[in-house]
């Protein structure tokens, strides 16, 4: 079946805030047109191997939602809007919300040294505050040196072992250790486990009915039937509930390990903006821009068209990538969750957001997927299989949903800037763009794209003309 499952809500008319000041108001039929445009764009993305779930809201109203591609490639089990994804480092926004909740009830001071709350923090980090950690300007960077068996005190001691690279507050330096330390701070000030506090104070008020922590946090057996499998290169796929390190511990706590649906994360954004989690002056404080335009867990940007702030953040973990944005003026929330590490989620979210608002945006053709066409199943089957050329090029294709073929093996003599040799242009996907033509699509580099032209014959008479990234064409015969 097609690598997509769609559930499209009626797209509502954009308010003036969503309409370009330089464009006329859209006609009455615009919602349906925009909805179809978003769907067509994501169908093309799915044809080239993208999979995931998208949700867009304006305030409490769902503007668009859709699920595309497979949660499990091998079983061709499609993504649905109930599919759980690993939120990756986007989970740091949840940790930030928990910290701000404590600030709001007076249990924590943003500018108090964390060592005053956490005795295990070594002297070298004695000047670091919660504000520094939230803005990722603690001065520490590099790999968080924590053992899977470490308790909270040991994790903190190992986390801040050595010397910082910069004085605290001086420069934005992304480091997962910032949010691991914040999770420890939540435990110390709430006198609860990090997971218990977040469930009670974040998940519950935001009504995140499907969201949970990764396997092992509660001792309950994890049902993987709704979990996406994450794909990264040639590595074995990883279930969303299996932390990259193999277990949920202080290497993950506060910086990942959250399983969520796109709808639940949109609920979280709505609760954040609506004051259900963080209220008043504390929320306002979180929006002030620090080094690198960082707020508290979010990048704080400016939507110049709507003259307002926009929060946005990308997240990643092995096999998963996510992106979310919250426009504080238009109240538009966008969420993109994917189980493909190479997924250009920021580009996807920006394109979708611009389709909703009617904004024109320059698009890099090397990133934007080509417009695909649907072939009959028998024609895709005719092209599937093993192919080879006299110069040693080899290509193995298998069906991938209704609209594309996946290259499970692809080797060809190529001449590149680094010299000539037999190389693998990449595990990729070929999708039809014409009556007989298929192309591959590398999300980040058009120079990696290849094309196929089928002669329309079947069985032993079938031939493919393969043009590789170096521009060389060769004839492939059925093997």
pLDDT digits (tens, 9 = 90+) for 71-81: 998 888 999 99
Q: Is residue 2 part of a domain?
A: no
Low-confidence winner among 72-76, 79-83, 114-118, 257-261 (lowest mean pLDDT): 72-76
In a shared domain, residues 401 and 464: yes
Q: Are residues 154 and 244 in the same domain?
A: yes
Q: Which of 323, 357, 391 lies at the terminal end of a domain, its last residue? A: 357
Q: Which residues pair with residue 453 across a beta bridge?
A: 437, 465
Together in a domain, 274 and 312: yes
Q: What is the mean pLDDT of residues 53-77?
A: 93
Rounded CA-CA distance 203/248 in Å is 19
**What is the domain count for the chain?**
2
What pLDDT score does 366 carry?
54
Number of H helices, E strands in the chain: 11, 23
Distance CA 40, CA 60 (A): 25
Position 20 confidence tier, pLDDT thresholds 50, 70, 90: very low
Answer whether residue 199 shows pLDDT above 80. Answer: yes
Query: Which of the 8 DSSP states describes residue 27?
Result: P
398 vs 244, higher pLDDT:
398
Q: How far is Cα 312 from Cα 352, in angstroms, rounded to an integer?
A: 14
Do both 112 and 147 map to the same domain? yes
Residue that has been written with the tokens 């997240």 in this structure: 315
Coil, strand or helix at 48: coil
Q: Which long-range contacts (CB under 8 A, 24 or more apart) does 372-378 make?
A: 372/43, 372/44, 372/47, 372/48, 372/403, 372/404, 372/431, 372/432, 372/433, 373/432, 373/433, 373/434, 373/435, 374/402, 374/403, 374/432, 375/403, 375/432, 377/402
Q: What are phi and psi of 349, to 5 degrees?
A: -65, -40
User: Once rounded to an integer, what is the mean pLDDT over residues 158-184?
Assistant: 95
Give yes or no: residues 328 and 217 share one domain: yes
Burial-class residue 272 by CB neighbours within 10 Å (0-12, 13-18, 19+). buried
Which runs of consecutive H residues, i.e. helices, occur in 232-376?
Answer: 262-273, 280-286, 345-357
Residues 379, 381, 384, 387, CA torsion sign: negative
Instruction: State whether 146 and 272 are in the same domain.
Output: yes
- Spatial separation of the C-alpha atoms in residues 26 and 121, rounded to whole Å: 57
Enclosing H/E stretch for 212: strand 212-213
Q: Is the Cα dihedral 350, 352, 356, 362 positive or negative?
A: positive
Domain final residue, candidates 357, 389, 404: 357
What is the DSSP secondary structure assignment for residue 203, as one 8-state letter?
I
- The answer to whether residues 387 and 344 belong to one domain is no
Residues 94 and 186 in one domain: yes
Q: Are both 347 and 391 inside the same structural domain? A: no
421 pLDDT more than 60: no
Q: What is the dihedral of CA 235, 239, 240, 243, to 10 degrees?
A: -70
Lowest mean pLDDT among 252-256, 354-358, 437-441: 354-358
- Model pLDDT for residues 262-291, shown as the tens digit of each residue: 999 999 999 999 999 998 899 999 999 999
Q: Domain of residue 424: give its range.
A: 377-478
User: Is 363 domain-assigned?
Assistant: no
Cα–Cα distance, 35 to 130 (Å, whole number): 42
Paired tokens of 234: 């040639």
Instruction: Please check whether residue 75 lies inside any domain of the structure.
Output: no
**Are 262 and 162 found together in one domain?**
yes
Q: In the predicted model, what is the mean pLDDT of residues 310-338?
A: 96
Biggest CA–CA distance in the chain, Å, is 77
Does residue 48 carry a pLDDT above 70?
A: yes
């Amino acid at each position: 079946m097609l690598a997509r499952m769609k559930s499209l809500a009626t797209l509502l008319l954009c308010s003036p805030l969503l309409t370009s000041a330089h464009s006329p108001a859209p006609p009455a039929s615009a919602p349906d047109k925009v909805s179809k445009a978003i769907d067509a764009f994501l169908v093309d993305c799915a044809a080239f191997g993208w999979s995931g779930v998208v949700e867009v809201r304006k305030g409490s109203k769902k503007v668009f939602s859709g699920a595309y591609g497979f949660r499990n490639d091998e079983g061709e089990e499609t993504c649905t809007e109930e599919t759980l994804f690993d939120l990756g480092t986007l989970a740091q926004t949840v940790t930030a919300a928990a910290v701000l909740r404590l600030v709001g009830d007076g249990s924590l001071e943003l500018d108090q040294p964390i060592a005053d709350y956490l005795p295990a923090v070594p002297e070298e980090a004695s000047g670091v505050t919660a504000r520094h950690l939230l803005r990722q300007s603690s001065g520490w960077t590099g790999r968080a040196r924590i053992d899977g068996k470490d308790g909270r005190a040991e994790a903190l001691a190992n986390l801040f072992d050595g010397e910082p690279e910069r004085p605290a507050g001086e420069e934005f330096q992304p480091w997962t250790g910032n949010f691991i330390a914040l999770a420890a701070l939540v435990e110390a000030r709430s006198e609860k486990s990090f997971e218990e506090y977040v469930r009670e104070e974040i998940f519950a008020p935001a009504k995140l009915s499907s969201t949970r922590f990764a396997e092992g946090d509660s001792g309950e057996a994890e049902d993987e039937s709704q979990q996406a499998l994450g794909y990264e290169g040639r590595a074995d796929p990883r279930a969303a509930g299996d932390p990259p390190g193999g277990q949920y511990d202080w290497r993950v706590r506060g910086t990942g390990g959250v399983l969520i649906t796109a709808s639940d994360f949109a609920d979280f954004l709505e609760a954040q903006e609506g004051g259900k989690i963080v209220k008043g002056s504390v929320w306002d404080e979180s929006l002030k821009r620090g080094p690198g335009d960082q707020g508290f867990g979010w990048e704080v940007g400016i939507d110049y068209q709507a003259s307002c702030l926009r929060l946005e953040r990308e997240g990643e973990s092995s096999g998963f990538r996510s992106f979310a944005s919250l426009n504080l003026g238009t109240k538009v929330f966008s969420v993109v969750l994917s189980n493909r590490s190479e997924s250009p989620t920021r580009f996807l979210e920006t394109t979708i957001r611009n389709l909703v608002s009617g904004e024109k945006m320059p698009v890099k053709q090397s990133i934007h997927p080509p417009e695909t066409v649907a072939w009959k199943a028998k024609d895709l089957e005719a092209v599937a299989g093993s192919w080879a050329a006299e110069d040693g090029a080899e290509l193995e294709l298998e069906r991938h949903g209704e609209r594309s073929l996946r290259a499970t093996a692809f080797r060809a003599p190529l001449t590149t800037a680094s010299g000539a040799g037999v190389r693998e242009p990449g595990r990729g996907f070929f999708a039809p763009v014409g009556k007989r033509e298929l192309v591959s699509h590398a999300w980040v580099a058009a120079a990696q794209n290849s094309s196929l032209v089928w002669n329309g014959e079947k069985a032993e008479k079938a031939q493919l003309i393969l043009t590789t990234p170096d521009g060389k064409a060769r004839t492939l015969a059925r093997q």
